[in-house]
Homo-oligomer: A and B are copies of this chain.
Amino acid sequence: MTVIEEMGALAKKASRTLANAGEKKNDALKAIAEALKNNSESIIEANNTDLENGRKNGLSASLLDRLMLNESRIDGIAQGVLEVAALPDPIGTVISGGTRPNGLKITKVRVPLGVIGIIYEARPNVTADAAALCLKSGNAVILRGGKEAIFSNKRIADIMRDAVESVGLDRNSIQLIEDTSRSSSVELMELTDYLDVLIPRGGKGLIRAVVENAKVPVIETGAGNCHVYVDESADINMAADIIYNAKTSRPSVCNAIETILVHEAVARDALPEIKERLDKKGVELRGCEKTAEILGDCVIPASESDWETEYGDYILAVKVVTDFDEAIAHIAKYSTGHSECIVTSDYKSARRFTEEVDAAAVYVNASTRFTDGGMFGLGAEIGISTQKLHARGPMGLNELTSMKFVIEGDGQVR
């Protein structure tokens, strides 16, 4: 057995006790939150080693910032763990049930998935966030974080494992892969005997690599090439507000928009107002010919690749469309199926858009930035699924569960 196979076997064993651990899971979460706060000094010390290594290796300032932990960030992480503890336990929920004509009582009950693998990149807070959600939903977790955060991750994982053990649960409910070479992540992707699902959290490259190479079931997350379509009947002021918010409130996240489509009947009125709003944040516009005609030289000519790109930055592609159908067709061609929005005052357009656009979240007259577990009222989220199998959109605790049928009889045979 390799090290990672052994971890798989230990996780599977731990998952059996977790499946019916009930309130002990909350005891463990509370113990974790307390231990993280009590051990913040040693976490910061480990984090300093990561930061030093990062500086030596030329990490960018924004990556170093994502990597950095201080007292207040650790408090925030601990607080997040307590919030997970406060959520209702999904395990044991009866999803549906009834009695069959032959007297068999059949109940569909929510159960944990079993063993969850998480592959993620530089942010050490994911170590605690993901572990807390997995633990609460009765799953054992194997974490494989990025090498940039390995000292912080190890320290956090050790603290959590001790805390889990302190309330009488199996410390292997949470495990961290310490080998951050490529081979360890490939091995995790192929751990079919032990892993029930693998969730990659990170950039496009990571997610692509997991989808291409994994033999275990995967939930794809995070790619967001999102659009706002400004319909002929749109309230222009509302459209400009929504576009400004969806583009600039946090451009690096997946629910930010990358392209706007504007009906040509309102383009001459709408585009200048939209531009005025976006100018406040210096957003670069890459537009089609008609856009340039209306807005002038400030518009960089858009090429095919602009319609495909998730900029994650203060850049917005702009296309004037001749009608609703062209907008829908553009979205169908380029959308990653994350979040799509129409701004309209027309009942039929709203209805058609929500029916015909195929995305995890389809909006009428609201910013795509709301696609988020907390905003949707699901509690904390482990990520946003952009696939259609098992989970779509923000994934809360329910999305980390499976179900089983319990059939109770008194001797029925078929």
The chain A residues found within 8 Å of chain B, CB to CB, are: 16, 19-20, 98, 100, 104, 106, 111, 113-114, 192, 196-197, 211-212, 215, 217-219, 235, 238, 241-242, 244-246, 249, 332, 350, 354-356, 358-367, 369-371, 375-377, 387-390, 392-393, 402-414
Contact = CB atoms under 8 A, between A and B. Distances in A.
Contacts of A405: 360-362, 371, 376, 393
By CB atoms of chain B within 10 A, which of A114, A359, A405 has the most? A405
Given A192-B211, A217-B217, A332-B16, A363 B114 contact: no
A212 B192 CA distance: 9
Nearest to A243: B413
Contacts of A376: 100, 106, 405
Given A388-B402, A389-B196, A402-B389, A364 B413 contact: no
A249 B100 CA distance: 20
A402 B412 contact: no
A334 B138 CA distance: 22
A241 B411 contact: yes
B406 A362 contact: yes
Contacts of A370: 104, 407, 412, 414
Contacts of A356: 16, 19-20
A97 B211 CA distance: 31
Nearest to A99: B377
A387 B19 CA distance: 17
Given A16-B358, A361-B407, A389-B390, A367 B245 contact: no
22 contacts: A19-B356, A100-B375, A104-B370, A106-B376, A111-B358, A217-B217, A217-B218, A235-B411, A354-B406, A358-B404, A360-B405, A362-B405, A362-B406, A366-B407, A366-B412, A367-B413, A370-B407, A370-B412, A370-B414, A371-B405, A375-B414, A393-B405
A301 to B, nearest CB: 28
By CB atoms of chain B within 10 A, which of A192, A359, A392 has the most? A392
B365 A409 contact: yes
User: DSSP class of A's interface residues: helix, strand, loop or mixed?
Assistant: mixed
A412 B246 CA distance: 11
A345 to B, nearest CB: 10
A119 to B, nearest CB: 16
A328 to B, nearest CB: 9
B404 A367 contact: no
Given A369-B413, A370-B412, A20 B355 contact: yes
Contacts of A364: 406-409
